Amino acid sequence: MNTRLSVNINKVATLRNARGGNMPNVVQVAKDCERFGAQGITVHPRPDGRHIKYQDVYDLKAIVTTEFNIEGYPSASFMDLVTEVVPTQVTLVPDPPEAITSNAGWDTLANREFLTDIIARLHSKGIRTSIFVNADPKMVAGAKATGTDRVELYTESYAANYLKDREAAIRDFIVAAQEAERQQIDLNAGHDLSLVNLKFFQEQIPNLKEVSIGHALICDALYLGLEETIHQYLQQLQ
């Protein structure tokens, strides 16, 4: 099984918002990503609209033909949005509205009741769910107890330590992935994965269903072009 590539297009929206108007066009970029082989589109709308705006989510829902993954903290407004749009998957992240980017996974033990209620609401709409967690088997097991379909491993520490000692960097993620297999819960991963470190990660985590990659992929596209960049990421996952 090849791991699926979902392209996070938040950074495209950031560039658009820097000047106003509609260039680059977020909807067209999503179409192009799919045309070039991406198997999913990911967005993370935040309340301040500093990159993906809520209207973008509605616009993208109308055109995405692969899997549409919406990340975010389950505030009242976020939950209203996703239960109306009904994407393929909602990935729950614990970051507060002012966070620049996601920087930690959920404590699924301390937040079990809260997450269980959120998961049930999303499931009632037929939405697949994923919970963003650190590479900790206790957090994976805690996520299973909420009823979620998947967990997404937060891979920042792996990426930060990959060039120093990749075997040490991957160790906790292998343990977490093994726990996911024991718990019979599907596995995603994301954050700072790149052309440098992606192939080794995927090779060591054989039960990996999906990676969500945005920042590094869009940076690479500035040099390689979007089509070639997506092809190269897909090659890393084969």
Q: What is the CATH number of the domain that holds 26?
A: 3.20.20.70
Active-site annotation holder among 44, 152, 179, 210: 44
Q: How many domains does the chain have?
A: 1
Please give the residue range of the domain that contains residue 63.
Answer: 4-236
Active-site annotation holder among 34, 152, 179, 191: 191
Q: Name the burial class of residue 209, with classes exposed (0-12), middle (13-18) and buried (19+) by CB atoms within 10 angstroms of its CB.
A: middle
Q: How far apart are CA 154 and CA 134, in angstroms?
A: 5
Active-site annotation holder among 71, 152, 179, 210: 71
Q: Is 191 annotated as catalytic?
A: yes
Q: Is 71 annotated as catalytic?
A: yes
Q: Other CB atoms closer than 10 Å to residue 36's CB: what's the count?
A: 17
Tens of each residue's pLDDT in the chain, 238 residues: 689 999 999 999 999 999 989 999 999 999 999 999 999 999 999 988 889 999 999 999 999 999 999 999 999 999 999 999 999 999 999 986 666 556 689 999 999 999 999 999 999 999 999 999 999 999 999 999 999 999 999 999 999 999 999 999 999 999 999 999 999 999 999 999 999 999 999 999 989 999 999 999 999 999 999 999 999 999 999 8
Question: What is the reported pTM?
Answer: 0.95
